[in-house]
């Protein structure tokens, strides 16, 4: 018997991040000395008060099915969080909870895209953006945003790429993998374009909102253009800020007609998110952010150490991240050079494979739609980040010049 797979699933691929992580783990398990800088997962533990709240929920019997849009107490907590931290007002009916922010994004596209509808995806992008679009029948339209513009979309580019079938624009800030942060002026310029195209919805992925290195509070397109409120879906969660990646709780806040439709989609897939995870997320949003400055300072120190080392390496160009916990590096200057074993580096995948042999695991920029680059995570121990920089510098110095 030959099992036939759907055309839909054949349009998407396994996460390159997961594949790189898996390969690094295999090599470490086999005894190799590998510094794993592949994954965007905080190396800090979930704060104790959040874990205690989860244990109390279990002890109190909060282990049953939950409402598909989310437990009311958590949705109210998200509502307060958005008022307090983001200076944004949403009705309770405009907030929906899911099994992670990724599901929020998937549900939104499932609820709004018809076959052939287009979604504007600035490049570099988080790989789940275009694949979620494809899986739901849409077509990602990529907009290249390179080093010269700080990997940020410009108003001119946005205007040029909006067409008759454009349904969504994705804005991710601070960006993954770039760490780019849009200024108020840049957001206002994008808003001016969007006002001329009222059919375009905007997905605001702000998972890294509090991990910024400029000392400024989280800032959204909606803070500078509140008139776009009815066209935006704000996506957030607990995974990055609270080191809760495994708890799988995300939220969406947007027009009620959209959040209602997203709840319908979710009701036919996973239903409501984990009762225990929601109890933990409630404690997260209500427990304050006193722990956060220390963590952000650690990320910033790691960024500074890694950027300082790699900026002095011939063949590399480093985009200094303004937030998040990744460093994105252009490696065009290494292509055409030869490894000590004589093999030629012809792509960012070749560069990443070479660095892995030197004990540093990263992810090729092609996974994020921009080559030749590679991404390194700084969400790991500071000593590991420093040593990774040394190994990369040494590996590049050992290359032989292009023929």
Cα–Cα distance, 324 to 369 (Å, whole number)? 19
pTM reported for the whole predicted model:
0.96
Cα–Cα distance, 120 to 202 (Å, whole number)? 9
**Domain ranges in the chain with CATH number 3.40.640.10:** 47-285
**pLDDT at residue 20 greater than cutoff 90:** no
CA of residue 230 relative to chain centroid, distance: 23
| Residue 324 region by backbone torsions, left for phi larger than 0, else alpha for psi between -120 and 50, else beta | left
Q: What is the pLDDT of residues 221-240, one digit of tens each?
A: 999 999 999 999 999 999 99
**pLDDT at residue 403 greater than cutoff 70:** no
CATH code of 5-43+289-396, in short, is: 3.90.1150.10
Q: Residue 401: its pLDDT value, please?
A: 82
Overall CATH class of domain 47-285:
alpha beta
Q: Residue 196: its pLDDT value, please?
A: 98
Q: What is the pLDDT of residues 316-337, one digit of tens each?
A: 999 999 999 999 999 999 999 9
Q: Residue 311: its pLDDT value, please?
A: 96
Query: By percentage, how much of the chain surpasses pLDDT 90?
Result: 92
CB 169 within 8 A of CB 120: yes
Q: What is the enclosing helix (H) or strand (E) of 222?
A: helix 221-224
Cα–Cα distance, 67 to 95 (Å, whole number)? 13
Q: How does the average pLDDT of the chain come out, rounded?
A: 96
Q: Provide the CB-side half-sphere exposure for 397 (13 A, CA).
A: 10
Strand 360-361 and strand 250-253: the pairing is unpaired
**Domain ranges in the chain with CATH number 3.90.1150.10:** 5-43+289-396
């Amino acid at each position: 018997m030959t099992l036939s797979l759907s055309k839909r699933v054949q349009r998407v691929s396994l996460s390159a991040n997961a594949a790189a992580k898996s390969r690094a783990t295999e090599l470490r398990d086999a005894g190799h000395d590998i510094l794993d800088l592949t994954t965007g997962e905080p190396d800090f533990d979930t704060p104790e008060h959040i874990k205690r709240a989860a244990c109390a929920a279990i002890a109190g019997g909060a282990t049953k099915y939950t409402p598909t849009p989310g437990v009311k107490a958590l949705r109210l907590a998200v509502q307060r969080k958005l008022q307090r931290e983001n200076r944004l007002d949403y009705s309770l009916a405009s907030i929906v909870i899911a099994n992670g922010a990724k599901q929020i994004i998937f549900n939104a596209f499932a609820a709004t895209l018809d076959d052939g509808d287009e979604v504007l995806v600035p490049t570099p992008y988080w790989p789940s953006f275009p694949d979620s679009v494809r899986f739901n029948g849409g077509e990602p339209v990529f907009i290249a945003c390179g080093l010269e513009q700080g990997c940020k979309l410009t108003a001119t580019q946005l205007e040029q790429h909006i067409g008759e079938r454009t349904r969504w624009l994705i804005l991710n800030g601070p960006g993954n993998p770039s760490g780019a942060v849009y200024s108020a002026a840049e957001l206002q310029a994008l808003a001016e374009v969007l006002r001329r195209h009222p059919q375009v919805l905007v997905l605001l992925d702000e998972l890294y909102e509090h991990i910024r290195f400029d000392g400024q509070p989280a800032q959204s397109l909606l803070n500078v253009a509140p008139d776009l409120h009815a066209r935006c879906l704000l996506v957030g969660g607990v995974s990055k800020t609270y080191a809760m990646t495994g708890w799988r709780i995300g939220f969406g806040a947007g027009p009620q007609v959209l959040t209602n439709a997203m709840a319908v989609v979710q009701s036919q897939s996973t239903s409501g998110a984990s009762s225990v995870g929601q109890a933990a997320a409630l404690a997260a949003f209500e427990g304050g952010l006193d722990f956060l400055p220390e963590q952000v300072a650690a990320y910033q120190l790691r960024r500074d150490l890694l950027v300082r080392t790699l900026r002095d390496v011939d063949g590399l160009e480093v985009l200094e991240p303004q937030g998040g916990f990744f460093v994105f590096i252009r490696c065009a200057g290494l292509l055409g050079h030869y490894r000590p074993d004589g093999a030629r580096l012809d792509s960012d995948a070749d560069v990443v494979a070479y660095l892995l042999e030197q004990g540093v695991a990263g992810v090729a920029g092609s996974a994020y739609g921009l080559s030749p680059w590679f991404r390194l995570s700084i969400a790991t121990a500071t000593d590991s980040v420093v040593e990774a920089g040394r190994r990369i510098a040494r590996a590049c110095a050992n290359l032989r010049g292009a023929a």
